[in-house]
Amino acid sequence: MERVLVTGGAGFIGSNFVHHLVRETDVAVTVLDKLTYASSREAIDALPSDRVTLVVGDITDAATVDPLVAGHDAVVHFAAESHNDNSLHDPSPFVQTNIVGTFTLLEAVRRHDTRFHHVSTDEVYGDLPLVDPSLDDPERFTESTAYNPSSPYSASKAASDHLVRAWVRSFGVQATLSNCSNNYGPWQHVEKFIPRQVTELIDGRQPRLYGSGANVRDWIHADDHSAAVWRILTAGRIGETYLIGADGEHDNLTVVRMLLEAFGRPADDFVHVTDRAGHDLRYAIDSTKLRTELGWSPRYADFAEGLARTVDWYRANEAWWRPAKAVTEAAYAVKGH
């Protein structure tokens, strides 16, 4: 594999993956990214130009996608509209990018017989019931969990997964899929839970919890997600799905309290805001298949440490996130969040 096309490579996780490729491999990388509000050109700007080329374009545009796919050995597909709250406000771009965009890429890889890896989410499985954390073996998502998405975002990702599986089975496309849990780390947009609370705290404001804060997310550092995707691309079995998770389950209230402590603020110094419609209760990943079959394991096993480093990063990179902060909070205010 010499040339890899990374869609959405200017986004939070896609850019992390591009850094991973530059650091850990010899491949030449082309990023195809529309540079939406969620992108960060700065995240990849400093990378060597003989290793990384940025093409600004839309994955729904076959005239852009087809020749690019033809010139690469593999496509790793991160590009998406990724935020649940936005999908509840206006589902249209989610259908376009996540479904039509994936279809457009699949038609190109089918035509050119190109290896394809589809990056997806654990949200396609819907949610799990809240459980007593002291239980020995609570239910978790596995590769055989039935699809049951809740939001327009997760439904659009589920649809894209089904397209990939159908193109494998019906057309012999050489594809793998991965479904990962909630990522955190540098370069994540301030609309998302952890960066939103960290930047609220930097601004001396109070973190904002949807509902009671009992909802559980299974956190993984983006570096660990990137390493898993590369492992699946290079060693995964065609047609297979791999779940990616780092055993990082925490309820939202606990995460807010960890952040409050990091800023030396009282444990109850937060506000409850309007809950998300259809808010999924709990996500939890069983990543046994990825670990046993492909030998992957997370480097950031300690969530508290990874979170502390992420807080430091946001403190040090205010110039990057500041321009998006006010507009993001204004949009949240309209929705009552």
Enumerate the active-site residues: 122-123, 153
Nearest residue (CB) to ligand DAU, 108 versus 285: 285
By a kind-dependent CB cut-off of 5 to 8 A, residue 79 interacts, out of ligand DAU, ligand NAD, none, with: ligand NAD
Binding site residues, ligand DAU, CB under 6 A: 82-84, 121-123, 181-182, 192-193, 196, 208-210, 215, 217, 252, 276, 283, 337
Residue nearest to ligand DAU (CB): 121
Nearest residue (CB) to ligand DAU, 52 versus 80: 80
Q: Is 152 in the site for ligand NAD (CB under 6 A)?
A: no
Nearest residue (CB) to ligand DAU, 107 versus 186: 186
The CB-of-5 to ligand DAU minimum distance in angstroms stands at: 21
Q: Is 245 in the site for ligand NAD (CB under 6 A)?
A: no
By a kind-dependent CB cut-off of 5 to 8 A, residue 210 interacts, out of ligand NAD, ligand DAU, none, with: ligand DAU
Nearest residue (CB) to ligand NAD, 269 versus 320: 320
Site string for ligand NAD, 275-314 (x = CB under 6 A): ----------------------------------------
Interacting residue with ligand NAD among 87, 97, 226, 252 (CB under 6 A): 97
SS3 track for the chain: CCEEEEECCCCHHHHHHHHHHHHHCCCEEEEEECCCCCCCCHHHHCCCCCCEEEEECCCCCHHHHHHHHHCCCEEEECCCCCCHHHHHHCCHHHHHHHHHHHHHHHHHHHHHCCEEEEEEEHHHHCCECCCCCCCCCCCCECCCCCCCCCCHHHHHHHHHHHHHHHHHHHHCCCEEEEEECCEECCCCCCCCHHHHHHHHHHCCCCCEEECCCCCEEECEEHHHHHHHHHHHHHHCCCCCEEEECCCCEEEHHHHHHHHHHHCCCCCCCCEEECCCCCCCCECCECCHHHHHHHCCCCCCCCHHHHHHHHHHHHHHCHHHHHHHHHHHHHHHHHHCC
By a kind-dependent CB cut-off of 5 to 8 A, residue 65 interacts, out of ligand DAU, ligand NAD, none, with: none
Task: List residues near ligand NAD by CB under 6 A.
Answer: 7-8, 10-14, 32-36, 38-39, 58-60, 78-82, 97, 101, 119, 121, 157, 180, 182-183, 189
